[in-house]
Structure 1
């Protein structure tokens, strides 16, 4: 037996539970009203009507001959049951309760009438009871009006009112549940922004006590993380400053101690290693910051690609550009430039040939894409996503190893900061491709601008 599939959402579960409780309570109320209020009322009406019918039968049986004709006309006396008075209408949902009332009334009435006195209910046209009574010494079908208690619509009105109140209760529960769910939804959105590298605004704590406590704890956690991030940035800035100061002095000392041409090779090698140390320090600083505090500006992504491609062309590395139609949108220009530089430097370092940059936009999802690709040997085997982890490096085709392995980790963090992601893939026919997506949604831009203003 398969278990009942419950909704995954707490909101849906609560609403379903409230709806079920309202339905059960309404059904129970109507059942109690029907069996303990309405049924006894109908039975009492049937008992009273049975006394009235028996009395009428006795009077008609002893009526004078000259009065029998007038009584026959008055009660529509007939030898045979009228064909147009259908005794059993089709049972439908709309006439279910009315049929129930009629059946209870007829059953009770037959119990209190003589066994030879037949009773039929006319359901077509006017509601009437046909009784097989005496008129003189002969039996005739006579028509009697139906008591109001046997066919009134009071219960139907009660059912309609009950359904209306049930619907009102469901709508009210829905609105209350939405009000309760709003801080939970805000908490989930804030957690997603925090995981993507943004600093979410403080959550409101004026809701229900239990949810307010969660919001207070989340705000405290965000504050602690921001303080830890500021401390880390300050520590890295101090380390960078303290290391770069002696590096600068060392660079000057090497330059001053190599007056002759025979030491040029040593000076160049030393200067190269000093540049590497400085680049490694800068990578650590970039990874620590990742542009989270940079203000958002409206910019042209294609123009930024063209500028960087021109810079690389000046160094002898030509990138083939395929630029799609991109409208200016909000992003952090220095951070996005760092993304493009890291990817283009990786293409030069690991690919060297078939360098290309392609941009395009998906107007449905409001996302801009940048692909940096090459036709080199590609990445090492295994899961390409591991290359996005800090300190993971591919195999360089150059003479020296490439950096610290933080380049793609920096790209990933900046992409998430812009509502996107980094995707890596091996190219068909050889080579490697890195695709970065950047969200262009207006609401995302507004939140970024607010964050940048803070």
Structure 2
């Protein structure tokens, strides 16, 4: 029993994978599938009952009636002399709606013809009824005349041709039934698709608004529409969005006040130090105090920038390459050796000031700890691994085009001492600094800004021997 239980799941897994592959991934496709599958199953059952019951009975009865008339006419033709047969032909047309013709001395050549109505049992039922009633060699032709069925019967002195109207073998209710099945299925499918499309559109708008808000774009309040649950979710999203905006605004105002309160005494201290009398014995202490005040001002500005998180800036179309080139130029003016490899331009929605602070922090860290710095800008597919760059599996050269969602990737390499693999994640924590002169906020601010853009940042080992900082932003 345990062996069978262990063997059963692997046998079911391929079937489960096939079913999952057949099921649509989108909500619209799944909703329409849930609605249409029961309808199609019901239609299929109704069609099977019709073909297995009503159509089969009607077809056999109609075919039996025509075959009985033909059998009676065959018997009458056999008994009548050739000169007495014209009255029989006239009566057959008038009484039975069957046109007769006789070909004396002819021999019937039995020809196998393809079925002209393969989905209907009419031909099979007629052949079976004729075989039971006529008991003579015969042939049925459904293809020569679209309005009639020609039946040829071999008699001892020739071949009898009987032309029977198809309306005697075919009922118009079949067309009506098929039209009703197909028409109702198409109508219900159209209504279901139209209705579910409107419902899914409201959910998609809510998802797009949530994603845009998460990326720092001001989308405003969205209009609640669709089902009551979707309207409730939209209203809750609008309330959440308003609360977050209010919180950010209150925090920004509070930080502005704190900034003023902190900088005022620091300014007084700087003025007091500048006004103190200079003497050889106190010069060194005054210089040290001045440096301390400057360090406190720098740390205060860094703390406020970290707490503020650049949350008030709105995203707009900007050139990432131009931004990187400007930051690299500033680093070169500060004495750094920075090489940049980038395409001519890369336009995308950005918060330029915030991203300038982020990339500036990364370049400052590399400049302080290394002699050479290299910056690369490129695009990579969203599903590519973190190590996929130019010349690497899954990477694309700078400026190359790609289909599907992309990352805009900025890689900063240096030849400094680097950071051990076990300490790289900790370097992103606030106030965690590996340098005595640092505040420990550079990488924390950088990750905060990158995540506000909907991207990701990571630290790796650089091919130059130092540290690699990889920033990925959604294009």
- Structure 1 residues 179 and 386 mapped into 2: Cα distance closer, same or farther (>3 Å)? farther
- Structure 1 residues 46 and 336 mapped into 2: Cα distance closer, same or farther (>3 Å)? closer
Q: Do the aligned partners of 2:214 and 2:454 also contact (CA within 8 Å) in 1?
A: no
- Structure 1 residues 104 and 428 mapped into 2: Cα distance closer, same or farther (>3 Å)? same
Q: Secondary structure at 1:379's aligned position in 2? A: coil
Q: Secondary structure at 1:197's aligned position in 2? A: coil
**Does 1:267 find its partner at 2:280?**
no
1:210 to 203, 215, 229: 229
- Structure 1 residues 383 and 64 mapped into 2: Cα distance closer, same or farther (>3 Å)? farther
- Tell me what 1:28 maps to: 45
State the shift of 1:235 in Å: 3.0
Unaligned ranges ≥5, structure 2 = 1-11, 90-98, 379-397
Q: Do the aligned partners of 1:42 and 1:150 also contact (CA within 8 Å) in 2?
A: no
TM-score computed with the length of structure 1 as normaliser: 0.77
Q: Structure 2 CA distance, aligned partners of 1:36 and 1:149?
A: 20
Q: Do the aligned partners of 1:358 and 1:371 also contact (CA within 8 Å) in 2?
A: yes
State the shift of 1:427 in Å: 1.3
- Tell me what 1:452 maps to: none
RMSD value, Cα: 3.8
1:352 to 351, 356, 370: 370
C-alpha offsets along residues 268-314 of structure 1, whole Å, 9 cap, x if unaligned? Answer: 33333333333333223223333332356776666655655555455
Name which of structure 1's ranges 212-221 and 34-43 shifts more when overlaid on structure 2.
34-43
Q: Structure 1 CA distance, aligned partners of 2:290 and 2:34?
A: 73
- Structure 1 residues 334 and 97 mapped into 2: Cα distance closer, same or farther (>3 Å)? closer
Q: Do the aligned partners of 1:129 and 1:143 also contact (CA within 8 Å) in 2?
A: yes
Aligned residues: 423
Matches within 5 A, 1:129-140: 129-131=151-153, 138=156
- Tell me what 1:377 maps to: 417
Q: Structure 2 CA distance, aligned partners of 1:143 and 1:383?
A: 99
- Tell me what 1:427 maps to: 462
Q: Structure 1 CA distance, aligned partners of 2:88 and 2:257?
A: 118
Matches within 5 A, 1:37-186: 37-64=54-81, 66-67=83-84, 75-76=101-102, 82-83=108-109, 85-86=111-112, 89-90=113-114, 95-98=117-120, 100-108=121-129, 110=131, 113=133, 116=135, 120-123=139-142, 125-126=144-145, 127-131=149-153, 138=156, 141-149=159-167, 152=170, 154=172, 155=174, 159=178, 162-163=181-182, 165-186=184-205
State the shift of 1:402 in Å: 1.4
Q: Secondary structure at 1:355's aligned position in 2? A: strand
2:439 to 403, 424, 445: 403
Q: Structure 1 CA distance, aligned partners of 2:433 and 2:117?
A: 79
- Tell me what 1:16 maps to: 33
Unaligned ranges ≥5, structure 1 = 442-454
Q: Do the aligned partners of 1:380 and 1:394 also contact (CA within 8 Å) in 2?
A: no
State the shift of 1:171 in Å: 3.9
Q: Structure 1 CA distance, aligned partners of 2:165 and 2:319?
A: 85
Q: Structure 2 CA distance, aligned partners of 1:170 and 1:59?
A: 56
State the shift of 1:377 in Å: 1.0
- Tell me what 2:401 maps to: 364
Q: Structure 1 CA distance, aligned partners of 2:304 and 2:285?
A: 29
State the shift of 1:403 in Å: 0.9
Q: Structure 2 CA distance, aligned partners of 1:230 and 1:52?
A: 95
Name which of structure 1's ranges 6-15 and 255-264 shifts more when overlaid on structure 2.
255-264
Q: Do the aligned partners of 2:224 and 2:234 also contact (CA within 8 Å) in 1?
A: yes
TM-score computed with the length of structure 2 as normaliser: 0.74
Q: Structure 2 CA distance, aligned partners of 1:146 and 1:283?
A: 99
Q: Secondary structure at 2:77's aligned position in 1? A: helix
C-alpha offsets along residues 349-400 of structure 1, whole Å, 9 cap, x if unaligned? Answer: 3x2311344556536368765443321011222374554x44174533xxx2
C-alpha offsets along residues 150-202 of structure 1, whole Å, 9 cap, x if unaligned? Answer: 65484467546743553454344333322211111112222222333334322
- Tell me what 2:388 maps to: none
Q: Structure 2 CA distance, aligned partners of 1:197 and 1:327?
A: 20
- Structure 1 residues 57 and 340 mapped into 2: Cα distance closer, same or farther (>3 Å)? closer
- Structure 1 residues 38 and 382 mapped into 2: Cα distance closer, same or farther (>3 Å)? same
Q: Structure 2 CA distance, aligned partners of 1:85 and 1:379?
A: 90
